[in-house]
């Protein structure tokens, strides 16, 4: 990475520079939507309803329309409260519905589509800054063709969160500290994993301060090269970054009357929590109790092994510290939460820095060969996404 300490931070990557990545991303997502429409029609289902009016999207829409306070009590005693859902997506749904003829569900879909494009642009900006334009294009395409990539087009918060996270990380890497802190604040209002963005901002700010103090530090590994910004900017970014997540969690605690940790009780009602991966390990182990499910257990182990290998490769390739911290926290929270196990691939969707080693490898291929590989994977991803949403799907 080029040292920018003696010159201003680079401008944002222009639309023209990012155009190949964004056009490729749009093509992959369109392919996924077409496959979903065809598969759904064959099963006499509405593809649009699967994208906008099922699972969590219904909860977001209800928050946008009626606000917080709705809950469902299940026969087993669990309480599903809409306080579990962070507010930025429903706020945007309400705003868009108030200024257009669209319904709340339509607004959620529109926000997700626009946010997915912003996320793709952000992924390109980060990868382009670190490894160059060709790797940036490949990173976006790999993010688009993930097996659960169809979620990027759903009225869920993954696309919005990834957009905020990617641009916050780009701001960190280019020394735009106040922008990074503000975007981290918004990411913290979007999903609980916004803590990963906060951790990245804090780590980068502390690392840059340590480097400023003359302590031995490997250049281009931790602090952004443009760390000549005044200390007060970095300190203010650190102060701003956690306000979104902390503010909402504290508000939930006050509303429920259970104090600062009241949000954890809300999540417990959904059987969500952080147990260090114990529940996930038991889930995988249970797959080996019968032969028919054993291949699924092997697949899960291989998948976790692949994630670990990708992260280790990111470290070996000396990926900037903010990206390592962010991807590590996202992966840790996804794998070590006791939430619904089928949602874990979706929870890993924002961890795009893990794709950068694969993007670099793909970028080294001839254009024709990389296009062929990406095209084949895109078709497989589109078919799987259509099958997945017409089956168990996410919650």
Mean pLDDT (the chain) is: 89
Cβ atoms within 10 A of the Cβ of 60, count?
28
Q: Write down the pLDDT at residue 222.
A: 45
CA dihedral 37, 41, 42, 45 (to 10 degrees): 110
- The arithmetic mean of pLDDT across residues 215-237, rounded, is 64
Half-sphere exposure of 137 (CA within 13 A, CB side): 19
Decide if 244 contacts 192 (C-beta within 8 A): no
**Alpha-carbon gap, residue 298 to 287, rounded angstroms:** 8
Residue 282 confidence (pLDDT): 78
Q: What angle do CA 118, 138, 372 make, to 5 degrees?
A: 125
Strands (E), 15-60: none
**Tokens 């890497």 belong to which residue?**
173
User: Distance between CA atoms of 345 and 146, rounded to whole angstroms?
Assistant: 9
* Residue 98 scores a pLDDT above 50: yes
How far is 358 from 332, CA to CA, in rounded Å? 20
Q: How far apart are CA 309 and CA 65, in angstroms?
A: 43
| Pairwise pLDDT comparison (303 vs 246), residue with the higher score | 246
pLDDT of 276 > 80? The answer is no
CA–CA distance, 337 with 238 (Å, rounded to integer): 26
Q: What is the pLDDT of residue 221?
A: 47
Report helix, strand or coil for 3: coil
Query: What is the residue-wise DSSP string for 295-330?
Result: HHHHHHHHHHHHHHHHHHHHHHTT--HHHHHHHHHH
pLDDT tens profile 100-110: 999 999 999 99
pLDDT at 1 over 70: no
Question: What six digits make up the tokens of 40?
Answer: 């759904």
29, pLDDT greater than 90 = yes
Tens of pLDDT, residue by residue over 313-330, are 999 999 999 999 999 999
What count of other Cβ atoms lies within 10 Å of the Cβ of residue 171? 27
pLDDT for 226 beyond 70? no
Nearest residue to 165 (alpha-carbon basis) of 13, 327, 24, 318: 327
User: Is the predicted pLDDT of residue 114 greater than 70, yes or no?
Assistant: yes
pLDDT > 50? residue 223: no
Amino acid 4: pLDDT: 37
**Structure tokens given for 219:** 């250049």
The span from the CA of 89 to the CA of 11, in Å, is: 28
| Cα 370–chain centre separation | 25
Which residue blocks in 145-242 are alpha helix, DSSP H?
158-173, 177-188, 194-212, 231-240
Q: For residue 61, is pLDDT > 70?
A: yes
> Residue 10: pLDDT band by 50, 70, 90 thresholds?
low
Query: Per-residue pLDDT for 181 more than 60?
Result: yes
DSSP state of 337: B
For the chain, the structural domain boundaries read 15-389
- Residue 29 or 15, more confident: 29
Identify the band that residue 311 occupies on the pLDDT scale cut at 50, 70 and 90: very high
Cα(165)–Cα(253) distance, integer angstroms:
25
Determine contact, residues 196/153, Cβ cutoff 8 Å.
no
User: Are the C-beta atoms of residues 205 and 234 closer than 8 Å to each other?
Assistant: yes
pLDDT higher than 70, residue 227: no
């Amino acid at each position: 990475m080029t040292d920018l300490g003696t010159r201003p931070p680079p401008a944002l990557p222009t639309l023209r520079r990012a155009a190949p990545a964004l056009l490729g991303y749009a093509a992959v997502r369109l392919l996924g939507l077409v496959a979903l429409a065809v598969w759904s029609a064959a099963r006499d289902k509405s593809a649009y309803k699967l994208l906008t009016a099922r699972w969590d999207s219904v909860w977001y829409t209800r928050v946008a329309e009626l606000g917080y306070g709705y809950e469902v009590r299940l026969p087993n005693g669990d309480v599903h409260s809409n306080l579990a859902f962070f507010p930025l997506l429903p706020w945007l749904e309400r705003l868009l519905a108030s200024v257009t003829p669209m319904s709340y569900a339509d607004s959620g879909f529109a926000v997700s589509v626009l946010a997915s494009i912003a996320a793709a642009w952000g992924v390109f900006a980060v990868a382009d800054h670190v490894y160059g334009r060709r790797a940036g294009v490949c990173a976006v395409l790999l993010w688009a063709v993930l097996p659960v990539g169809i979620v990027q087009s759903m009225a869920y918060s993954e696309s919005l969160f990834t957009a905020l996270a990617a641009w916050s990380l780009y701001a960190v890497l280019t020394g735009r500290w106040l922008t990074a802190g503000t975007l981290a604040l918004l990411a913290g209002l979007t999903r609980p994993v916004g803590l990963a963005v906060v951790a990245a901002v804090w780590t980068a700010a502390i690392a840059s301060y340590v480097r400023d103090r003359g302590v031995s530090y490997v250049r281009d590994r931790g602090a952004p090269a443009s760390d000549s910004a005044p200390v007060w900017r970095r300190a203010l970014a650190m102060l701003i970054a956690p306000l979104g997540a902390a503010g909402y969690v504290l508000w939930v605690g006050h509303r429920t009357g259970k104090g600062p940790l009241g949000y954890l009780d809300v999540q417990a009602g959904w059987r969500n929590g952080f147990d260090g991966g114990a529940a996930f390990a038991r889930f995988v182990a249970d797959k080996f109790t019968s032969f028919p499910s054993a291949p699924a257990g092997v697949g899960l182990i291989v998948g976790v092994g692949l994630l670990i290998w990708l992260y280790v490769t990111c470290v070996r390739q000396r990926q900037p510290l903010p990206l390592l911290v962010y991807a590590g926290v996202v992966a840790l929270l996804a794998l070590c939460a006791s939430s619904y196990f089928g949602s874990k691939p979706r929870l890993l969707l924002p961890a795009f820095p893990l794709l950068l080693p694969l993007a670099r490898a793909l970028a080294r291929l001839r254009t024709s060969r990389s296009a062929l590989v990406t095209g084949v994977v895109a078709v497989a991803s589109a078919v799987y996404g259509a099958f997945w949403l017409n089956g168990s799907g996410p919650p």
